[in-house]
Structures are given as structure tokens and as C-alpha cells.
């Protein structure tokens, strides 16, 4: 089901709130000050049922110049606008500013309502319509129908509803799939429920019980309950006006301008890469690093406009820029914004977000400008690939990658298939999720891993490989250990490397002694083997065979790992052949006597207590024998 939000716009006292009451039966002036002054200060909301039974949300925004920021907080989430112009006054300053804002935000559909026609003669209505049509030229509402009405007398209301019904039917649908996000336009407390926030769900679906993240504060919460048009619901979808009851948060912790979203999808940022357009009617150029007011969703923040390819932006021009914001903001790719001058405050421009969390750029760099142009105009697979290419130290699930690239589920899945088909991305599974990596990043990761492993093998040719945790901390500290193991498994299945318990080696690596050590190592092994059940100590043996000190520990670990030597106790190592022979003799004696003493084993092997005690303790550990007091029995 399609969910549409309709918003009003227009100069103060041109009859927006009266029109909303005539259409819906609801008075959206809810503050006492609004009642007393007869103007809207805050946003007002009301449900509207069209003649065909379709229900839409209607947002009434303030028209007074002092409350433009409140107007901007409400107009950002609407699909269709009703630009209200009073017939007795015609196009006024806030009419033009609201029209500029509608155009900058690229609100796709709209109707122009010529209100208060009961106050003027019919000829005058025709003259005002001509003035309005002239004002609409060059804007998104240039071809919008103009509907004369009298909200008090009811004239034109049926015609307005019929046209509104037609426009709603033509309106596009918001992105209903993927993670949810909602810009907060109101926050208040309800006795017995706690903190409630309202806004228009920009994308995804939200359900009672869902985990939620409140940004930029970075607070965790859960959806306790939901309301749409005053009715309790279990879920809400993109395009609906929603009241969200957040669990575990105080009302002062959430304010207008914050964003409620699925956890891990969005990040706060002090920088935005944008395409910015200066209105033709702007009175002055915008200079590089000029301080301005940014209106993004329901957020208002001060920023500096860093022009990337010029020193000034002239009226009517468009340029690539980076906004340096003075407080953290939250955005998604393709979000639209408005810029107003710092003081006095006038709407002068706006544009679209290209990258919501970019690095700082140097100006006049052609490669940066080309990259931003691709991000702006690129196809879904190009946008997804650029997003993946930025992830040089962490892994994204397919869902996270699509969310950060601001792609719908349908176009996103196609983009994933296209990238995989072109071998521009790699997908692998881990933790019951599909992860996506740009092929270029994947290749660099693998190259760095192979380089580290080969360097390690050269330094330690007798070791089985580089410890996994050391490899992860060197190159993949941003990837959790369990997920890193899945990545290693993926590389192993592809034949790139081998995982040996807690060590990693390049495929085909075999431990081998350097040529100069082979003879000396064999001499060490033979000396210990010849000692049979009374082997010489390790230190004594390596000194006699002249094994270089820097290699002694490496050779020992090598021989132990290969199983040629077995450690019985500190400095007592036995060769595997006499150890196996001793095992068989002990088991043979146990067959005869069922229980044996240390002295009996000593006499059997013709050795001494110094060697027989650690030998029996080794057999106990290996579950060959079991100690019972001073005796041993078969385990």
C-alpha cells in the first residue's frame, strides 16, 4: 500500500491552517500562542481521507518568516505540496521563499491553492492566477494546476480534493525495503508511556520490538509502541507519519533534528560531500568557506561551504562542495538540503548529498571532482562499488552496503549481481550473513596477507605459520575475530592459504631446515636417539653438536612439532622410537601383572628414576596408564 504525505506551504496568514481544517476537520493549531496570534508556529498534522477512501497524512507548516526553520523541518518529508496563495494578496515574500525551498528540495508533485477567493472579485482572481503562473516558471511547480477555493465557504474544495486524489495516485512510492530511518520533528513525553517522537518514515519498515539507534547522540533504544494517524499499530512503512514510543530514553535525550534508525546503518558526520546550487535570485555570490545555515531533514546546523573547484559560486550556478558542519549531523546519500545565509537569514540555495561521511578533501583535485561526479550521476552498481571501495578496514553485510549506498532492495540486489558478474566484488558467507567486498580491496587484503606470510616464512622457516591473532591485529583490527576466521576459511577454500590450527601459511608452504642446519640438526636427533631411555639433555646436546644459539629454540620447536622428539620434562626430550618401544614394554608388563611400580619399570627399561618418573607421568597424560598411589594400572 502506498503512503503519501501532503504538506502545505505559503506566506503567513494566507489560510493554510483554515484550508487544512476544511479538508480534514482537524485544527492543526495546537499551541495556545498559535490560537492567540492566529498563525502557525509549530508543525501541525492531520489525517485526510480522500473521496476514494485513500488516507494520506497532511502536514501544515508555518508561513511566518521567523518560523522558516520550523517550516523546513516539516516540508522535507512530504511527497506532494499544496502551495497556498491568498487571492487578496497574491505572491508575497514567504510565498517566494517557500517556492524556492520546494524547488531546492525537489518535491515532485504539487497543487497551487488560490485561497480566500470569497474576498475578491472574479476578475481579480484571474489576474492573480496570471501572477502566480509567472512566479512558478522555472520551478518544479511550473506546470502545477491552480485551484481557486474558499475554505470558509467551501467553494472549490470538492474540485481540490478531486485533483489531490489524482496527484496522489500519480505520486511515487518511498523506499519500503531495507533498514528504517526517520528524522525526528517532535519529541515529547506521555504519562505512562515515556518518550515519544514523531516524523515521516523515510525508508524501510519499523515494527514494535525492533532495536533502534538515535543519532547523532548514539543512543540505543527499542520500539515500545507505534501510532499512525492516532491509531495503535504493530508496524509502519516508508511514507507514513509515525509516532514512536522509545523505550529507555528520557525526553531531553531526543530532540528535533535527531534521526531514529536501524542500528549500524547511519553514522554521524561533521562533513558532507554535496552538489550545491545557488538560486538565480540570490543577491550575492557565495564565497569559499562562507558560513551558512544548513537545513537537512529536520536538522538545522551552521556550516562552512568549501567549494572544491572555484573560489565563488554565482547566482544560478551549481558546483561540487564539501560542507564542514559545526555539530554532528546524520544524512544518507541523495538526501536534499537547503542553505540559508547566516545573517540576515534568507534561503539562497541547496542541493543533494553525494557522500554523507567523506574524508576531508583538498581543493582543485581533479580525481576528487571526478569521483564525486561519478557518485552523483553513477548507476546503482557504480554507487555500490564506490561505497565498498571505501571499506578498507572492515566488512559490510550486503544489507549494510545497500543501506550506505542508499539503494532500494530491488535495485541493490541487481547491483550486487552486476558487480559479481563483472568480478568487481566478492561475496562470502559468515555468521549466517552474506558479506560483500570490493574486488580491489579484497585483492589488496590478500596481497598484504601473502606478503606478511612469506616474510614470516623467510624469518621462521621451521614454524607452521604466522599466528592468526597476530595476522588479524596487523591487518584486520577492525574485523571481529569470528568474522576474520570466516574470511580465512574463504581464502583457504580458494586455495590462497592454509590454516593450521592457530597458524596461517601460504598455500604449498612446507617447513624445512636451511641447508646449513641440516647436518647439525641430524646430529642432535641422533645423539638423543642413541641415548635411548637415558637421553642426554637438550642443552648438553646442542653444545656438543655446535648448533647455532639463535637457531636452537627454533629447531627444538620444529622437531617437537614434527613429532621426532617428545618433551618429558624440562631439558629432557626423548626420541619417538625409544618412546614407542617404552610404551609397548610398559603395556606388556601390565598385561602380566595388572599393576606395576616405578621400580619395576626402571628395572624393565634399565634406566634411572630421573628418566622413568617423567616417562610414566607422560604415559599418564596420554591415558596409557593411570596412577593409583605408588602404582600404575592400565588406563
Q: Per-residue pLDDT tens for 189-228?
A: 888 888 999 888 888 899 999 999 999 999 999 999 999 8
Both 98 and 193 in one domain: the answer is no
Grade residue 166 by pLDDT with cuts at 50, 70 and 90.
Answer: very high
Q: Per-residue pLDDT tens for 371-422?
A: 888 778 778 888 888 889 888 888 889 988 887 777 777 788 899 999 999 9
Question: Is 208 within the bounds of a domain?
Answer: yes
Question: Is 322 within the bounds of a domain?
Answer: yes
Instruction: Please state the φ and ψ torsions of residue 197, each to the nearest 5 degrees.
Output: -125, 150
Point out the least confidently predicted range of 52-66, 165-179, 294-308: 52-66
Give the mean pLDDT of 220-243: 90
Grade residue 286 by pLDDT with cuts at 50, 70 and 90.
Answer: very high
Both 146 and 24 in one domain: the answer is yes
Both 131 and 73 in one domain: the answer is yes
Which domain-ending residue is among 261, 295, 321? 261
How are beta strands 205-207 and 565-569 bridged, if at all? unpaired
Question: Is 48 within the bounds of a domain?
Answer: yes
pLDDT at 437 exceeding the cut of 70 = yes
- How far CA 85 is from CA of 13, 25, 128, 150, 223, in Å, comes to 9, 21, 9, 12, 40
* High-pLDDT (> 90) share of the chain, %: 53
Do residues 112 and 144 touch, judged by C-beta distance below 8 A? yes
Global confidence as pTM: 0.63
pLDDT at 33 exceeding the cut of 50 = no
Question: Is 476 within the bounds of a domain?
Answer: yes
The three-class DSSP label of residue 505 is strand
- Stronger pLDDT, 537 or 71, i.e. the higher one: 537
Looking at the structure of the chain, the number of domains it has is: 5
CA–CA separation, 177 vs 82, rounded Å? 28
Both 546 and 604 in one domain: the answer is yes
Give Cα 109 distance to the centre of its chain. 31
Both 325 and 224 in one domain: the answer is no
Grade residue 32 by pLDDT with cuts at 50, 70 and 90.
Answer: very low
pLDDT of res. 107: 85
Instruction: Please state the φ and ψ torsions of residue 134, each to the nearest 5 degrees.
Output: -65, -40
Range of 298's domain?
268-372
Give the mean pLDDT of 415-444: 91
Sign of the C-alpha dihedral computed for residues 522, 524, 528 and 531 taken in this order = positive
pLDDT of res. 469: 92
- 421 dihedral zone (left: phi>0; alpha: psi -120 to 50; beta): alpha
Which domain-ending residue is among 261, 282, 299? 261
Sign of the C-alpha dihedral computed for residues 238, 239, 245 and 250 taken in this order = positive
From the list 74, 85, 18, the residue with the least C-alpha distance to 42 is 74
Grade residue 39 by pLDDT with cuts at 50, 70 and 90.
Answer: very low
Both 426 and 484 in one domain: the answer is yes
257: domain CATH number is 2.40.30.10
Both 587 and 606 in one domain: the answer is yes
47: domain CATH number is 3.40.50.300
Count the Cβ atoms, other than its own, within 10 Å of residue 511.
Answer: 16
- What is the enclosing helix (H) or strand (E) of 517? helix 515-530
pLDDT of res. 376: 84
- How far CA 225 is from CA of 204, 233, 392, in Å, comes to 17, 8, 39
Point out the least confidently predicted range of 2-6, 339-343, 407-411: 407-411
Do residues 21 and 27 touch, judged by C-beta distance below 8 A? yes
Question: Is 541 within the bounds of a domain?
Answer: yes
CA–CA separation, 335 vs 175, rounded Å? 13
573 Cβ contact list (under 8 Å, min separation 6): 528, 535, 538, 556, 559, 560, 565, 566, 567
- How far CA 193 is from CA of 217, 234, 507, in Å, comes to 21, 16, 60
CA–CA separation, 296 vs 266, rounded Å? 15
Both 274 and 137 in one domain: the answer is no
Per-chain mean pLDDT for the chain:
87
Both 37 and 92 in one domain: the answer is yes
Question: Is 175 within the bounds of a domain?
Answer: no
- Stronger pLDDT, 407 or 137, i.e. the higher one: 137
Both 30 and 108 in one domain: the answer is yes
Both 257 and 285 in one domain: the answer is no
- Stronger pLDDT, 261 or 550, i.e. the higher one: 261
Which domain-ending residue is among 117, 151, 170? 170
544: domain CATH number is 1.10.10.10
Do residues 465 and 504 touch, judged by C-beta distance below 8 A? yes
Question: Is 176 within the bounds of a domain?
Answer: no
CA–CA separation, 593 vs 604, rounded Å? 13
143 Cβ contact list (under 8 Å, min separation 6): none
Question: Is 556 within the bounds of a domain?
Answer: yes
CA–CA separation, 217 vs 335, rounded Å? 20
- Stronger pLDDT, 17 or 323, i.e. the higher one: 323
pLDDT of res. 461: 86
Both 295 and 234 in one domain: the answer is no
DSSP characters over 417-483: HHHHHTTSEEEEEETTEEEEEEHHHHHHHHHHHHHHHHHHHHH-TTSS-EEHHHHHHHH-TTS-HHH
Amino acid at each position: 500500500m502506498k503512503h503519501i504525505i501532503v504538506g502545505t506551504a505559503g506566506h503567513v496568514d494566507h489560510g493554510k491552517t483554515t484550508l487544512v481544517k476544511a479538508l480534514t476537520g482537524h485544527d492543526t493549531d495546537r499551541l495556545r500562542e498559535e490560537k492567540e496570534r492566529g498563525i502557525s508556529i509549530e508543525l501541525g498534522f492531520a489525517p485526510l481521507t480522500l473521496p476514494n477512501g485513500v488516507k494520506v497524512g497532511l502536514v501544515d507548516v508555518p508561513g511566518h518568516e521567523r518560523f522558516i526553520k520550523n517550516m523546513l523541518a516539516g516540508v522535507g518529508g512530504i511527497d506532494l505540496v499544496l502551495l497556498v496563495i491568498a487571492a487578496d494578496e497574491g505572491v508575497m515574500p514567504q510565498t517566494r521563499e517557500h517556492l524556492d525551498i520546494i524547488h531546492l528540495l525537489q518535491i515532485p508533485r504539487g497543487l497551487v491553492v488560490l485561497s480566500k477567493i470569497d474576498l475578491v472579485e472574479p476578475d481579480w482572481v484571474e489576474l492573480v492566477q496570471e501572477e502566480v503562473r509567472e512566479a512558478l516558471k522555472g520551478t518544479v511547480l511550473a506546470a502545477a494546476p491552480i485551484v481557486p477555493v474558499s475554505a470558509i465557504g467551501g467553494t472549490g474544495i470538492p474540485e481540490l480534493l478531486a485533483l489531490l486524489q489524482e496527484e496522489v495516485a500519480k505520486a511515487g512510492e518511498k523506499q519500503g525495503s531495507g533498514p528504517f530511518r526517520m528524522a525526528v520533528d517532535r519529541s515529547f513525553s506521555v504519562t505512562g508511556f515515556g518518550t515519544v517522537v514523531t516524523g515521516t518514515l523515510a525508508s524501510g519498515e519499523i515494527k514494535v520490538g525492533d532495536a533502534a539507534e538515535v543519532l547523532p547522540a548514539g543512543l540505543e533504544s527499542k520500539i515500545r509502541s507505534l501510532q499512525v494517524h492516532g491509531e495503535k499499530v504493530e508496524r509502519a512503512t516508508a511514507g507514513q507519519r509515525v509516532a514512536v514510543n522509545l523505550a529507555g530514553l528520557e525526553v531531553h535525550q531526543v530532540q528535533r533534528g535527531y534521526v531514529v534508525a536501524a542500528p549500524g546503518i547511519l553514522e554521524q558526520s561533521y562533513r558532507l560531500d554535496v552538489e550545491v546550487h545557488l538560486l538565480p535570485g540570490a543577491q550575492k555570490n557565495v564565497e569559499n568557506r562562507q558560513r551558512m545555515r544548513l537545513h537537512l531533514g529536520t536538522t538545522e546546523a551552521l556550516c562552512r561551504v568549501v567549494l572544491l573547484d572555484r573560489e565563488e559560486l554565482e547566482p544560478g550556478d551549481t558546483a561540487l562542495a564539501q560542507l564542514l558542519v559545526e555539530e554532528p549531523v546524520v544524512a544518507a546519500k541523495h538526501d536534499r538540503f537547503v542553505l540559508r545565509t547566516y545573517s540576515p537569514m534568507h534561503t539562497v540555495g541547496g542541493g543533494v548529498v553525494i557522500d554523507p561521511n567523506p574524508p576531508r578533501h583538498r581543493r582543485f583535485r581533479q580525481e576528487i571532482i571526478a569521483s564525486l561526479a561519478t557518485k552523483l550521476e553513477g548507476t546503482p552498481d557504480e554507487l555500490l562499488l564506490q561505497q565498498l571501495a571505501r571499506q578498507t578496514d572492515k566488512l559490510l553485510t550486503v544489507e549494510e552496503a545497500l543501506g550506505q549506498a542508499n539503494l532500494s532492495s530491488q535495485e541493490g540486489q541487481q547491483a550486487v549481481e552486476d558487480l559479481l558478474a563483472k568480478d568487481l566484488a566478492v561475496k562470502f558467507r559468515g555468521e549466517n550473513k552474506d558479506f560483500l567486498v570490493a574486488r580491489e580491496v579484497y585483492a589488496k587484503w590478500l596481497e598484504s596477507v601473502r606478503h606478511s606470510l612469506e616474510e614470516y616464512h623467510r624469518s621462521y622457516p621451521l614454524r607452521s605459520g604466522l599466528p592468526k591473532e597476530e595476522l588479524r591485529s596487523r591487518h584486520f583490527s577492525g574485523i571481529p575475530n569470528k568474522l576474520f576466521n570466516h574470511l580465512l576459511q574463504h581464502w583457504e577454500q580458494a586455495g590462497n592459504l592454509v590454516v593450521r590450527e592457530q597458524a596461517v601459511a601460504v598455500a604449498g608452504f612446507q617447513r624445512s631446515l636451511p641447508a646449513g642446519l641440516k647436518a647439525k640438526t641430524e646430529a642432535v636427533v641422533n645423539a638423543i636417539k642413541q641415548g635411548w631411555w637415558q637421553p642426554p639433555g637438550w642443552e648438553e646436546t646442542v653444545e656438543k653438536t655446535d648448533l647455532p644459539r639463535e637457531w636452537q629454540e627454533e629447531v627444538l620447536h620444529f622437531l617437537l612439532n614434527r613429532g621426532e622428539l617428545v618433551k618429558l620434562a624440562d631439558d629432557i626430550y626423548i626420541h619417538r622410537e625409544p618412546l614407542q618401544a617404552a610404551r609397548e614394554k610398559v603395556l606388556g608388563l601390565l598385561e602380566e601383572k595388572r599393576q606395576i611400580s616405578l621400580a619395576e619399570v626402571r628395572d624393565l627399561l634399565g634406566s634411572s628414576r630421573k628418566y622413568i618418573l617423567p616417562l610414566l607421568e607422560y604415559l599418564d597424560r596420554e591415558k596409557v596408564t593411570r596412577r593409583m598411589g605408588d602404582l600404575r594400572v592400565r588406563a
